[in-house]
Structure 1
């Protein structure tokens, strides 16, 4: 009877010291795991961003095939916009009228135009997308844009970039031109410690090339004429 009574008695609860030890262990595990989880999430976002750029690059290729090998215009914030802009982003225009829209989806899915790591609220203009196109390829010369046949080494020439949220202001990446005032730079949001857009030497971003493929490249490479000048061998 005594043994049964003893077994049926109430077990003592945890002491305060034991609870504090458990809480401390949990906090330590969280502090160890959070950076790894953050890196894994960012790696997933980078992959999704790269997939977006591949899709956009293929859409440009199909557009050019249907339009005598000419690229669409760069959506450079011209008053009222131009019908042949690759993306119609101004409030008064419909995204579905973007020249590459028929080659992506109907209706146009705006998420294809956004990097999942891009904090859109940090954009300083009405342009709420993450990607912009190389002005040197989509610029207007003699009332026409460049043709695909004019681009030398298309697998090396940047067509679309993931631009920094600190500098993106329209659909046109034109750091080399007066239009860009030397300030349009590709993003380093996937290397968060280097997002400072005034540092042209550090950080990496996703870009799509003229042959349709996409890569994760260094910011410094984007300033090399071998990659941004379509007429350079």
Structure 2
């Protein structure tokens, strides 16, 4: 994950933080020696998580629109993979050390829980930040109509930036499904199942379902006939 800005050191947990644990320690000293090592690993994990959340928030405050693809990759692939790797490394250590020093076993559940929670919080933060940056991009880098305006009732058109943004966020099969759903936006009235609603507190951006957990971002535009929706973006909505 070193290529992703919020995680310059590449990890939220390092198994090396537990390297001082050993099954060679005398049994009567094992627990006293292990307790501060595990506590330090928990503290380092919490600190790494807090630093990552601060960096993610800074991306939003700085309108770092170029970070959208990296946030999606971290949210959907890199962080879940890192969480699984961290959990495996802890279980491997338990099998090597705690198996012979059973008294150490109670130390590990809290560590496993914290590692999972820190990764989950980072995943959620990436999703929220990505969605907010997608909204900012629709406002700061709006597109122009890519074709004649469509819709017999509600009028809409894809922006000339939409296809590149969609390819950035969704695989081909999901884009095809989203296109089929989008055609229903032209019905009058808009079908309830599309869940047309404002994207945030403003009245310039709206959103509808795009299949699964994905949603379209629609920007309100006007021409001589009145308002219409410019379809600016699509992607998984943050939880």
What range describes the TM-score normalised by the shorter chain of this pair?
A: 0.3 to 0.5
Determine which structure has the larger helix proportion and give its number: 2
Q: Which has the higher strand share?
A: 2
TM-score by length of 1: 0.33
Q: Give TM-score scaled by structure 2 length.
A: 0.33
